[in-house]
Structure 1
Amino acid sequence: MSELDAVLAAGRLAAQELQRETITLYRPGDSGFDWNAGTDTPGPSTTLYSGPARVKPSAQSRGEEVNAGEVNTTQREYTVSVPWDTVIVSRPLPGDVIEVSTSPDARMVGLRLWVTGVQFSSMATAWRISGEDRS
């Protein structure tokens, strides 16, 4: 093992120690319209990852107010870090969803984020996914 590999391994171990939340990353299924009930029926979702993560607001996130469907919402950006060597079913895509299931901060439980991007790097200590809170 090279010196660089040893440093990266130590950094990845340290990054995992900061991953105190548990998340589920999933791809929502296509919804269909139920003409009898007059409602949308969500299709089955596909779980891409479930496990430890670090969820934190992005440093540059100020919260942007937008009008969506005649409702004012505030969008806040988050960075979600999962273990660097995580194996997933499919690469996350914009529109996939991250839900926080457990956290030492009880206020984060139930937080739902929509994936906006993914960062890859062989020199990273964690695999980072960008998401936004649309509440």
Structure 2
Amino acid sequence: MSVLEAALAAGRLAAQELQRETITISHPHGDGFTWETGTDNPPPATLLYTGRAQVKPSAQSRGEEVEAGERNVTLREYTVSLPWDTPASDLPAVGDLVEVTASPDTRMVGLQLWVTGAGFSSTATAWRIFAEDRS
């Protein structure tokens, strides 16, 4: 094992120790609104991932106020770090939903974030997903 590989292995282990939240990532399927009846019955989402993660606000995120659906919304950016060895089949797409289901900080439980992108690097210590809070 090279010095670089040993350093990456140690960094990935340290990154996992910081992953204290439990999350789910799901892919929603349409809105399910039926115009004829006026009812909203969204189809069940496809579960992509459930497990440990680190969820933290992005350092440069200040919150941006935008108008969405005739109401003001503040967008806050987050970085969601998954274990390095998370299978590639679990890769979320833009628009997928990240929900914090457990955390030592109970104020985070129920936090819903929308995926805006993902970062890739062979020298990363975790798999990073970029998301925003649209509350």
Tell whether the 8 Å contact from 1:95 to 1:114 is kept in structure 2 after alignment.
yes
What is the deviation of 1:34? Answer: 2.7
Q: CA deviation at 1:36?
A: 5.5
- Structure 1 segments of 4 or more deviating over 6 A? none
Amino acid at match of 1:42: P
Query: In 1, Cα distance between the equivalents of 2:115 and 2:98?
Result: 7
Q: Structure 1 length as normaliser, TM-score?
A: 0.95
Please give the per-residue CA displacement for 1:86-112, whole angstroms capped at 9, x wherever unaligned: 015342111000000000101000000
Is the contact made by 2:49 and 2:90 (CA closer than 8 Å) also made in structure 1?
Answer: no
| Superposition TM-score, scaled by structure 2 size | 0.95
Matched with 1:125 is 125
Counterpart position of 1:70: 70
Aligned partner of 2:86 in structure 1 is 86
Q: Provide the identity percentage.
A: 69
* Distance in 2 (alpha carbons) for counterparts of 1:39 and 1:102: 32
CA separation in 1, counterparts of 2:83 and 2:111?
20
Matches of 1:132 and 1:17 in 2, distance apart? Answer: 24
Aligned residues: 135
Distance in structure 2 (CA, Å) of the matches to 1:110 and 1:32: 23
CA deviation after TM superposition for structure 1 residue 31, in Å: 2.9
Asked whether the 8 Å contact 1:48–1:88 carries over to 2, the reply is: no
Aligned equivalents of 1:9 and 1:101: distance in 2? 28
Higher mean C-alpha deviation, range 38-47 or range 103-112: 38-47
- For 1:65-101, what per-residue CA distance to the aligned partner results, in whole angstroms no more than 9, with x for missing partners? 1111111110000000000110153421110000000
Q: Distance in 1 between matches of 2:69 and 2:60?
A: 26
Structure 2 unaligned blocks of 5 or more? none
Q: Distance in 2 between matches of 1:37 and 1:54?
A: 42
Equivalent residue for 2:55?
55
> Does structure 2 retain, via aligned residues, the 8 Å contact 1:21–1:53?
yes
